[in-house]
Amino acid sequence: MSKPSSFSLRGRKALVAIKDERDAIIVRRQFERLGIDIVIWDGGATIDCRPDVTLIDDEFLPLTSPAQRASLGRSPVIALLGTETPSRLKLVLDLDPASFLVKPLRSAGIYAALVLAFERRERTNELKQQVVKLERRLRSRRVVLAAVLQVMHTHALAEPAAFALIRRAAMEQRKTIEELSAEITAKGSLPRAAG
């Protein structure tokens, strides 16, 4: 299934925690126009839904319960700012917000804040996956180095040629360089030279 576009918001679910009734009316009306379902949260201990996005008034901060913080961390957060003082911004930063709106709210800006929040979360997730992949490759660097040294020694090759040999063998055997290097160092077996 293809992932939803950040520009299309119909059918998404939002957790909304807003103190001021006027701001709440504006959010409800704009979300209805955008086809977004709303779950109201009054700051109580439990959050018993899995929203796609959370709008939280800075008047609800700080969140004291670890369970609340964990729940909010599962979806992008849009912070509603009443003041720009560093002390208040520090509390907001603890939520790692993907976007923000300044109170008092108006209908203009809400759509943009939502789109930015969804897109920011999407890109952050992609970056996290990239980091995990790079960390895995970094950890295996030592194994690859050991395999290259072994091939250099047994085949009397220079380092570039030894690495090229391992890479070609990995491609032929449909394995990653890291996997083949692990086999070389574990079994002492050398990759077969291609044709």
Rounded Cα–Cα distance for residues 150 and 162 (Å): 9
Is residue 50 near other proteins by the rule CB under 8 A? no
Is residue 173 near other proteins by the rule CB under 8 A? no
Single residue of 1, 108, 138, 156 touching other proteins by CB under 8 A: 108
Rounded Cα–Cα distance for residues 78 and 15 (Å): 10
In SS3 terms, 82-120 reads as CCCCHHHHHHHHCCCCCEEEECCCCCCCHHHHHHHHHHH
Smallest distance, other proteins to C-beta of residue 2, A = 10
Is residue 34 near other proteins by the rule CB under 8 A? yes
Is residue 106 near other proteins by the rule CB under 8 A? yes
Interaction mask 53-92, other proteins, x per CB under 8 A: ----------------------------------------
CA torsion through residues 135, 139, 145, 147, sign: negative
Phi, psi of 72 (to 5 degrees): -70, -25
**Range 128-157, binding other proteins (CB under 8 A):** none
Is residue 9 near other proteins by the rule CB under 8 A? yes
State which residue, 10 or 174, has the beta carbon closest to other proteins: 10
Rounded Cα–Cα distance for residues 150 and 34 (Å): 62
Q: Which helix (H) or strand (E) holds 57?
A: strand 53-57
State which residue, 30 or 54, has the beta carbon closest to other proteins: 30
Q: What is the DSSP letter of 13?
A: E
Is residue 33 near other proteins by the rule CB under 8 A? yes
Contact positions vs other proteins (CB under 8 A): 8-10, 29-30, 32-35, 106-108, 111
